[in-house]
Structure 1
Amino acid sequence: MPRIIGVIPARYASSRFPGKPLADILGKPMIRWVYENAMSSKLINDVYVATDDERIFNTVKNFGGNVIMTPSEIPTGTDRIAYAVRNIDADIIVNIQGDEPLISGDMIDSAIEPFLKEEDNDIDISTLAVKITDVETLFNPNVVKVVFDKKNFALYFSRSPIPFCRDAQRRDEWLKLGVYYKHIGIYVYKRNSLFKFVNLKTSKLEELEKLEQLRAIENGMRIKVVITDKDTIGVDTFSDIENVVSILKQKTSF
């Protein structure tokens, strides 16, 4: 059985929501929700937070979590993860977004499972997608869409609705004529694939769409897309916290 670790990159600085990882959600900081949900995975051996901020570092330490301090000049969350795991024994590394407080252990395990199957040994990265059921989500540029081949390997990710529906006369016809998938931003890497990825130069498609996973595709890396029936809410602004709280309150326990 490979050794699998989860890493949650967490920065304090954010143009839209400074201090986001420490935002209070029903009495707990958001980073703790993410950490504890990641710990509920049945396949992950250990979870770490990788941060560049002492406030986040101390918060994680105080609730008993594993945390690694990383340099502030590291440009992306993926680079922060690669820095954090360079001296950690792990065969598979899971990049768990620090602003996904509704991510579940089951979802994380679904993304990991392709690496445990012999027939899928040509995978570099795996990720999740969920079927889009409303027009607003389909046309929202903040929601990333993905298309994949018959073996569920990603062909392209975009902020635009893909594939384009030529026969649709109105927006509400798109979902009647085609099937569309929202990308959920969790990434599972083979160790060597993670370090290969962070050493690649930023690609042209990545620069246009502002989606770093396109760098992997442009360089021939294979991304397996696992379809899930569960969705999450990424927290980008303070108003998103209210949506998360509303969902958590609807659950029988939290």
Structure 2
Amino acid sequence: MHVDARIQQSVVANLSARPLPVRCGPFVVGLDPAIEHPGINYATPVPGAPISGADVTALVAAFRSYGRKPRLEYVVSSAPGLEELLLAAGFAVEERHEYLVCTPGSLAVPPAPDGYELREPATDADRAALVTAQHAAFGADTIAAEADVARVRRLQGNGGVAVMVVAPDGTCAGGGQAVPPHDGVSEVAGIAVRKPHRRRGVAGAMTAEITRRLFAGGGELAWLEASGEDSWRVYERVGYRPAGRRLYIALD
């Protein structure tokens, strides 16, 4: 199976494991009733399924019925013509990303920076610290809610990976995770480092450690997206290589 199809099928599986998965024609909508963020609640097409304008209309209605913003993320090649249908229905492109992939043979694991510890969160207090650090790194001055903690706990319980970075002063400097693998494929996401701890090799070490743990558990292919040139270089240094394109698109 082509890597694009494998990545897209892994997204379908990930959304199908949400607390409230909804199948809507050729789409799977992954919903979490406890979290309203559109980055958690979105849809993706089933690879190769034919899609019509009527299917898009039904998808929008499904999102509205659950009080969520209609939004999709998908590998572009998995649904030719879908973008045109969505634009005709009033959707607007949020972002276009090139995704990168890593295999056990390409992974390079650097040592953790001096004084920093990389470990899996073992308690709910750890999980809250991880998510709070992610929020801070992404510019949100909010602490983790119980729903956030439950999401990380569920991810770990289902075979995913979460890693937190403990700074020399004992605080959580950042964190990230990988979703439970599907057919050997998993997305690495949420890589975040608080500003005072950046440019020390923390992000690269954390990304590599998450990926290493994923492969140690039987994963075959890890993928992620870079938010800019700096993160792109970080991921390439630990063995990730560009492989395909994804689209983020939503209806206000």
- Greater RCO, 1 or 2 (C-alpha within 8 Å, sep 6+): 2
Higher strand share: 2
Q: Normalized against structure 1, the TM-score is what? A: 0.29
Q: Normalized against structure 2, the TM-score is what? A: 0.29
